């Protein structure tokens, strides 16, 4: 067999092999394209809602492409102030991400370099993340009612910060452990303070990990529905809550749902594509280095 | 796993030694622990207290009720059914996501032109907000204006008007499809990374020895990616156990209580019926089960390393 494989170019054996290989390649591409189309079709479908006219949305059989891409829905969102939901999401997710990243990273440094609390504390912190959101939000709701924090920005921001801290600590602990300790050591010998070492050696060295973890932390808060649903009313409306507010008893505002979904999803798409290299490590809680 | 002795020596010197500042490490971790404890632990203790009281929409009874709520919970068939639905969905969805994810990973593991673009596009469903994913598929499954009935109609050769989300025999397949669509990319991307780490030379030598593809897969590839597989399964199982958004967008647990999961059941009890103490008892039960399972699993599969 092996002799036939090494036969001179042009011989019937290698021609047959080449044809077989190209057939295999074609089959692979066909499968790849088919799978991609299937997975992207629902995204296409909801995004198209933003551009369709009411007649096109409520037509039977369904219309796949709008006759013209009109921007009326987006204009209506701007006019009615519904875009505020994106702004609210940006504030709550953004501010909570900054807090979680800062406090989480310094805590992670403590765990990584001083082995504070040993392995049990680290696992205990991670296991907090595994508690179902409904279980977290229920007692928090009771506490917030008592404190008068329902429907406030700081209420939601504090909860997002607390919910994301275990993730940040866990991920950053891994990234910091990857940095050679000798650098920090010699900086200390040179007379730098602990804080200088942290801010001017550790943070820059863990840059990639910091960015990737920031992106995923932001996405968790940005995509959250249940915390916002329970803890907010009318003052603080994030984009996922806004989307579901258009499911009426009598009528569903699909055009608005489509437009809002698009604006809430596209920025995340781009962020993930930029940070694709760190994706696997980020979503596998650091277990798969990718 | 194993800490080299040299590193151990360094960290000893690190903590004490010439820079001995042992308070610094506690100072660094204190704010994070304070936030986590005050938002997770103290309310959780409050929840435990409430679960032993008699607070509901009709009575603000804060006297000690013993294990009354837990007894009620044990005899509540709706709660057990919601737990059954949750575990059932987990047991069906997880293998499907795993098999689809694995098939896709095997398809894309070898180099091909444009592979990066395919992978980037295939990952997108995963990062869509679950509530938006649910809304999207609610539209896809619409019996009047949804494309799914239309596409099935093409194959069936006649008009199809399945009322997916209100028909108790079609609603679970619809939820399953949504969930599988949303989460298969997660399995795919993790398994793809796992496969990339498998030793190619071992596979090639097995191929030369004439081993079948199935044999190579089960004897070489699968054992090599076992740790990756374990992590992926653990993370997805925990996610599936707390599924809420997708169900809420698609059915709100309906029709009736056919698609109620433990999360939606707790939500309804706590925030729609205001059966506060009872809901607290349900939540505490869920925490106890999950914490035990999670800590055991985390230690077992060494996610830490």
CATH number of the domain at B242, please: 1.10.3720.10
pLDDT tens profile B163-178 = 999 988 999 999 999 9
- Name chain B contacts of A118, Cβ cutoff 8 Å: none
Mean pLDDT of B3-25: 52
The reply to whether B15 and B140 lie within a common domain is: no
Residue B218 lies in a domain: yes
**Mutation to test the B interface, candidates A287, A289, A290, most B Cβ within 10 Å:** A287
- Is B9's pLDDT higher than 60? no
Strands (E), chain B: 54-55, 60-61
CA distance from start to end of chain B: 6
- Is A117's pLDDT higher than 90? no
- Name chain A contacts of B268, Cβ cutoff 8 Å: none
For residue A21, the tally of other CB atoms under 10 A from its CB is 10
By Cβ distance, the residue of B123, B235, B290 closest to A285 is B235
**Helix (H/G/I), strand (E/B), else coil: B275:** coil
Residue B58 lies in a domain: no
A5 touching B (Cβ < 8 Å): no
User: Which of B284, B280, B282, B287 shows the shortest CA–CA distance to B55?
Assistant: B280
- Per-residue pLDDT band for A147 (boundaries 50, 70, 90) equals very high
Six-digit token string for A133: 């959101």
By Cβ distance, the residue of B33, B122, B181 closest to A36 is B122
Rounded to the nearest angstrom, the minimum Cα separation between B176 and chain A is 15
Q: What is the pLDDT of residue B304?
A: 46
Residue B59 lies in a domain: no
Q: What is the pLDDT of residue B202?
A: 87
pLDDT tens profile B287-296 = 888 877 777 7
- Is A119's pLDDT higher than 80? no
pLDDT tens profile B76-115 = 999 999 999 999 999 999 999 999 999 999 999 988 888 8
Total of domains in chain B: 2
User: Which of B238, B229, B253 shows the shortest CA–CA distance to B292?
Assistant: B238
Strands (E), chain A: none
Token look-up 């979904």 returns A261
Task: Indicate the average pLDDT of chain B.
Answer: 86
Rounded to the nearest angstrom, the minimum Cα separation between A68 and chain B is 19
| Contact residues, A window 237-276, toward B, CB-based 8 Å cutoff | 239-240, 243-244, 247, 254, 257, 261, 264-265, 268-269, 272-273, 276
The reply to whether B147 and B36 lie within a common domain is: no
Contact B120 A273 (CB under 8 A): yes
Residue B108 lies in a domain: yes
Residue B60 lies in a domain: no
pLDDT tens profile A185-226 = 888 888 888 888 888 999 999 998 999 999 999 999 999 999
**Mutation to test the B interface, candidates A39, A141, A178, A215, most B Cβ within 10 Å:** A39
Residue B112 lies in a domain: yes
- Is A95's pLDDT higher than 50? yes
By Cβ distance, the residue of A141, A272, A283 closest to B190 is A283
Q: What is the pLDDT of residue B20?
A: 53
Mean pLDDT of A96-104: 96
The reply to whether B179 and B270 lie within a common domain is: yes
- Per-residue pLDDT band for A156 (boundaries 50, 70, 90) equals very high
Q: What is the pLDDT of residue B4?
A: 43
Give the phi and the psi of residue B69 in degrees, each rounded to 5: -65, -35
- Name chain A contacts of B44, Cβ cutoff 8 Å: 139
Contact B181, B133 (CB under 8 A): yes
Range of the structural domain that residue B44 is part of: 1-51
Contact B28 A42 (CB under 8 A): no
Residue B165 lies in a domain: yes
The reply to whether B45 and B112 lie within a common domain is: no
Mean pLDDT of B141-151: 90
Mean pLDDT of A82-106: 94
- Name chain A contacts of B7, Cβ cutoff 8 Å: 181
A6 touching B (Cβ < 8 Å): no
By Cβ distance, the residue of A165, A182, A284 closest to B231 is A284
Contact A40 B283 (CB under 8 A): no
Contact A280, B189 (CB under 8 A): yes
Q: What is the pLDDT of residue A6?
A: 47
**Mutation to test the B interface, candidates A134, A137, A220, A274, most B Cβ within 10 Å:** A134
Q: What is the pLDDT of residue A193?
A: 87
Mean pLDDT of A81-85: 89
Q: What is the pLDDT of residue A12?
A: 64
- Per-residue pLDDT band for A1 (boundaries 50, 70, 90) equals very low
Mean pLDDT of B198-203: 87
pLDDT tens profile B23-67 = 888 888 999 999 998 887 788 888 898 888 888 877 777 777 778
Six-digit token string for A2: 């092996």
- Is A89's pLDDT higher than 60? yes
Q: What is the pLDDT of residue A14?
A: 73
By Cβ distance, the residue of A113, A158, A243 closest to B132 is A243
The reply to whether B47 and B98 lie within a common domain is: no
- Per-residue pLDDT band for B179 (boundaries 50, 70, 90) equals very high
Q: What percent of chain B has pLDDT over 90?
A: 43
- Per-residue pLDDT band for A13 (boundaries 50, 70, 90) equals low
Q: What is the pLDDT of residue A290?
A: 64
CA distance A57 to B272: 32
A-B C-beta contacts closer than 8 Å? 281
- Is B237's pLDDT higher than 70? yes
Mean pLDDT of B193-213: 88
The reply to whether B38 and B73 lie within a common domain is: no
Q: What is the pLDDT of residue B16?
A: 45
Six-digit token string for A124: 């205990």
CA distance A75 to A86: 15
Burial class (CB in 10 A: 0-12, 13-18, 19+), A211: middle
CA distance A6 to A4: 5
Burial class (CB in 10 A: 0-12, 13-18, 19+), A106: buried
Contact A39 B130 (CB under 8 A): no
Mean pLDDT of B212-224: 90
Relative orientation angle of helices A254-274 and B130-140, to the nearest 10 degrees: 130
DSSP, residue by residue, A27-71: HHHHHHHHHHHHHHHHHHHHHHHTTS-HHHHT-SSPPSS-SS---
For residue A1, the tally of other CB atoms under 10 A from its CB is 7
The reply to whether B170 and B104 lie within a common domain is: yes
Residue B259 lies in a domain: yes
User: Which of B60, B97, B207, B220 shows the shortest CA–CA distance to A1?
Assistant: B207
Six-digit token string for B54: 């008699």
* Residues 6 or more apart in contact with residue B247 via CB below 8 angstroms: B134, B175, B253, B259, B260, B261, B263, B264
Angle of CA points A184, A189, A190, to nearest 5°: 95
Q: What is the pLDDT of residue A3?
A: 41
CA-based nearest residue in chain A for residue B292: A127
Q: Give strand pairing partners of B54.
A: B61
Contact A127 B298 (CB under 8 A): yes
The CATH number of A75-283, from 1.10.357.10, 3.40.190.10, 3.30.230.10, 1.10.3720.10, is 1.10.3720.10
- Name chain B contacts of A49, Cβ cutoff 8 Å: 139
CA distance B146 to B149: 6
Give the phi and the psi of residue B180 in degrees, each rounded to 5: -65, -40
SS3 of B149-209: the string is HHHHHHHHCCCCCCCCCCCCCCHHHHHHHHHHHHHHHHHHHHHHHHHHCCCHHHHHHHHHC
pLDDT tens profile A18-54 = 888 888 889 999 999 999 999 999 999 999 999 988 8
- Name chain B contacts of A35, Cβ cutoff 8 Å: 104, 107, 122
By Cβ distance, the residue of A58, A240, A285 closest to B129 is A240
By Cβ distance, the residue of B44, B129, B194 closest to A223 is B129
- Per-residue pLDDT band for B17 (boundaries 50, 70, 90) equals very low
The reply to whether B155 and B277 lie within a common domain is: yes
Task: Indicate the average pLDDT of chain A.
Answer: 88
By Cβ distance, the residue of B139, B270, B295 closest to A46 is B139
- Name chain A contacts of B139, Cβ cutoff 8 Å: 45-46, 49, 254, 257
Mean pLDDT of A141-152: 92
Is this model's pTM higher than 0.80 or not? yes
By Cβ distance, the residue of B29, B122, B150 closest to A107 is B29
| Contact residues, A window 94-113, toward B, CB-based 8 Å cutoff | 103-104, 106-107, 109-111, 113
Token look-up 């986590």 returns B36
| Contact residues, A window 70-89, toward B, CB-based 8 Å cutoff | none
């Amino acid at each position: 067999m092996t002799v036939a494989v090494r036969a001179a170019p042009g011989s019937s054996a290698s021609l047959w092999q080449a044809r077989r290989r190209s057939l295999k390649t074609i089959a692979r591409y066909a499968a790849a394209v088919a799978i991609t189309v299937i997975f992207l079709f629902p995204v296409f479908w909801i995004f198209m809602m933003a551009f369709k006219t009411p007649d096109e949305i409520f037509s039977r059989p369904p219309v796949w492409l709008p006759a013209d891409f009109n921007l009326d829905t987006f204009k209506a969102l701007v006019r009615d102030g519904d875009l505020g939901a994106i702004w609210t999401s940006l504030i709550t997710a953004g501010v909570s991400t900054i807090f979680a990243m800062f406090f989480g990273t310094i805590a992670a440094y403590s765990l990584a370099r001083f082995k504070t609390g040993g392995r049990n504390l680290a696992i205990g912190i991670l296991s907090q993340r595994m508690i179902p959101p409904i279980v977290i939000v229920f007692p928090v709701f009771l506490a917030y009612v008592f404190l008068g924090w329902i429907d406030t920005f700081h209420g939601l921001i504090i909860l997002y910060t607390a919910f994301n801290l275990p993730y940040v600590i866990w991920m950053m602990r891994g990234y910091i452990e990857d940095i050679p300790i000798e650098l920090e050591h010699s900086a200390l010998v040179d007379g730098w303070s602990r804080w200088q070492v942290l801010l001017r050696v550790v943070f820059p060295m863990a840059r990639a990990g910091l960015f990737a973890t920031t992106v995923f932390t932001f996405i968790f808060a940005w995509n959250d529905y249940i915390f916002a649903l329970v803890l907010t009313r009318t003052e603080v409306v994030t984009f996922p809550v806004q989307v579901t507010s258009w499911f009426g008893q009598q009528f569903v505002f699909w055009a608005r749902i489509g437009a809002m979904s698009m604006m809430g999803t596209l920025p995340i798409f781009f962020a993930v594509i930029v940070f694709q290299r760190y994706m696997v490590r980020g979503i596998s809680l650091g277990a798969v280095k990718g | 796993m194993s800490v080299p002795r040299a590193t151990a020596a360094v960290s000893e010197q690190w903590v004490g030694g010439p820079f001995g500042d042992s308070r610094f490490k506690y100072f660094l971790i204190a704010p994070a622990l304070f936030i986590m404890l005050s938002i997770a632990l103290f309310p959780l203790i409050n929840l435990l207290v409430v679960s032993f009281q008699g607070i509901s929409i009709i009575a603000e009874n804060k006297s000690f009720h013993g294990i009354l709520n837990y007894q009620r919970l044990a005899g509540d068939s709706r709660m057990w059914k919601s737990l059954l639905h949750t575990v059932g969905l987990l047991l069906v969805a997880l293998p499907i996501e795993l098999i689809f994810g694995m098939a896709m990973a095997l398809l894309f593991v070898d180099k091909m032109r444009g592979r990066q673009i395919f992978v980037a596009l295939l990952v997108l469903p995963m990062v869509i907000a679950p509530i938006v994913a649910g809304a999207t598929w609610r539209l896809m499954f619409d019996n009047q204006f949804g494309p799914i009935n239309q596409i099935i109609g093409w194959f069936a050769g006649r008009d199809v008007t399945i009322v997916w989300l209100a028909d108790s025999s079609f609603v679970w397949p619809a939820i399953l499809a949504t969930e599988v669509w949303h989460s298969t990319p997660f399995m795919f991307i993790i398994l793809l990374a796992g496969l990339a780490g498998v030793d190619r030379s071992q596979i090639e030598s097995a191929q030369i020895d004439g081993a079948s593809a199935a044999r190579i897969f089960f004897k070489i590839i699968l054992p090599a990616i076992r740790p990756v597989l374990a992590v992926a399964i653990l993370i997805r199982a925990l996610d599936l156990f707390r599924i809420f958004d997708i169900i809420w967008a698609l059915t709100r647990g309906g029709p009736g209580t056919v698609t109620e999961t433990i999360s939606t059941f707790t939500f309804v009890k706590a925030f729609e019926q205001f059966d506060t103490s009872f809901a607290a008892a349900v939540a505490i039960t869920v925490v106890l089960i999950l914490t035990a399972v999670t800590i055991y699993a985390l230690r077992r599969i060494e996610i830490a390393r």
